[in-house]
A = this chain, B = another copy of it.
Amino acid sequence: MSRFFTESLKALQPYVPGEQPQDMQYIKLNTNESPFPASPKAVAAITGEEVSRLYLYSDPDCKALIAAIAKRYGLQPEQVTVGNGSDEVLWFALRAFCDENTPLAYNDITYGCYKTWCSMLNVPSKILPLQEDYSVDLSLYRGLDSTIMITNPNAPTGLCLTVQEIEGVLQENPDHVVIVDEAYVDFGGESCVSLIDKYENLLVVQTCSKSRSLAGARLGFAMGNAALISDLNRIKFSFNPYNVNRLTCLAGIAAMEDEEYFQTCTRTVAQTREKTAAALKTMGFTLTDSKANFLFAESSRIPGGVLYRKLKEKGILVRHFDKPRLENRLRITVGSQQQMEALLTALKELGA
């Protein structure tokens, strides 16, 4: 830290993204990317002519992209906005709906960025502990005097709430925004988009990084009533008006319109997940009932940290969180069938 860094953020702990080592070619099962390439329609949309046209700014209102998302989800364009990954969209939501006097409530075991963002924005965190089996204790969500973040499915557990359960939270907290982070919903969860016209306090955030094979394009989006979306745009235009680049707009539109590819990819990942989970159970692993594109698995024989390192030596990267209640678990991205077979073979060789 330089001597010029603001006193107010000296305690800030940056988020640590999954490692991207360059020393060898790994089977990467550590950042929940899709095993499928971007849609062929996205590839076709990014022509040489469009790349030449990068000399022009992107549309700050992202009209065409927002229209495509709205159409796909049966919403009005005023009910949608976009950002440079769902990380940016979620940060906009925290900036808009939280402050020193309006905490953010979220689970003790969930996506690590929420805590970092709260710390950066001087927003108090209201931590709601998960139960012993990692399930959500819904009684903790009654009459919370704070903005609420529900990660559905949760990460790294993969566990889901039903739309009905989330509707209960919306009803019990009518004066606070409930943000539902649905980064992983397309692999088997139930989306709350269907509730948008009913609840003015609901904001649903999704990403093209997982189910739409566009992690490297950085595209996330928020859906909610027009007033909430207008609030997010107020933050966006006060921060970085041209936040989504031209090529990402094109890729995003193509991906939204390629419904068949989306369905095939997500269905295949879900099938591979179930098959891999069954094999791991047979080997004695304990697993949650993940509906995401990752498994949350514990070996009965080898501690999580050891297993993580041994897999890495064998060229397979998974994610290990060295934290209470997580240290014996691995978060394993559901890759291709071939990658999963390599994983199972490696685990057997290690005696896991």
Q: Is A24 an interface residue (CB 8 A)?
A: no
Q: Which residues does chain B contribute within 8 Å of A240, judged by CB atoms? A: 84-85, 87-88, 91
Q: Is A246 an interface residue (CB 8 A)?
A: yes
A 224-245 to B, binary, CB cutoff 8 A, 1 in contact else 0:
0101101101111111111101
Q: Which residues does chain B contribute within 8 Å of A330, judged by CB atoms? A: none
Q: Is A215 an interface residue (CB 8 A)?
A: yes
Considering the complex, give the chain B residue whose CB is closest to the CB of A31.
Answer: B57
| A55→B43 contact, CB < 8 A | no
Q: Which residues does chain B contribute within 8 Å of A91, judged by CB atoms? A: 239-240
Range of interface residues on chain A? 35 or more
Question: Quick one: copies of this chain in the complex?
Answer: 2
Known: A4-B201, A218-B242. Contact between A17 and B99, CB under 8 A? Answer: no
Q: Is A214 an interface residue (CB 8 A)?
A: yes
Q: Is A34 an interface residue (CB 8 A)?
A: yes
Which segment, of A8-16, A163-171, A305-313, faces chain B? A8-16
Q: Is A294 an interface residue (CB 8 A)?
A: no
Q: Is A204 an interface residue (CB 8 A)?
A: no
A 131-153 to B, binary, CB cutoff 8 A, 1 in contact else 0:
00000000000000001000000
Which segment, of A112-120, A189-197, A339-347, faces chain B? A112-120
Which segment, of A44-52, A73-81, A273-281, A314-322, faces chain B? A44-52
Q: Is A38 an interface residue (CB 8 A)?
A: yes
| B60→A227 contact, CB < 8 A | no
Known: A4-B177, A97-B4, A228-B4. Contact between A56 and B116, CB under 8 A? Answer: no
B1, B17, B56: the one within 8 Å of A33 (CB): B56
| A227→B1 contact, CB < 8 A | yes
Q: Is A7 an interface residue (CB 8 A)?
A: yes
CA distance A48 to B39 in the complex (A): 11
B57, B98, B247: the one within 8 Å of A46 (CB): B247
CA distance A17 to B4 in the complex (A): 31
| A231→B1 contact, CB < 8 A | yes
Known: A8-B99, A51-B251. Contact between A56 and B1, CB under 8 A? Answer: no
Q: Which residues does chain B contribute within 8 Å of A6, judged by CB atoms? A: 95-99, 102
User: Chain B nearest CB: distance from A352 CB in Å?
Assistant: 27
B5, B15, B200, B209: the one within 8 Å of A97 (CB): B5
B20, B55, B237, B245: the one within 8 Å of A38 (CB): B55
| B96→A17 contact, CB < 8 A | no
| A117→B238 contact, CB < 8 A | yes
| A54→B99 contact, CB < 8 A | no
User: Chain B nearest CB: distance from A253 CB in Å?
Assistant: 14
| B251→A248 contact, CB < 8 A | no
Could you list some 11 contacts between A and B, CB below 8 A?
Answer: A1-B234, A7-B99, A14-B234, A20-B59, A37-B52, A38-B51, A53-B216, A57-B215, A85-B242, A88-B240, A116-B238
CB-based closest 8 A-B pairs? A216-B246, A14-B237, A2-B227, A37-B52, A55-B213, A54-B216, A38-B54, A6-B99
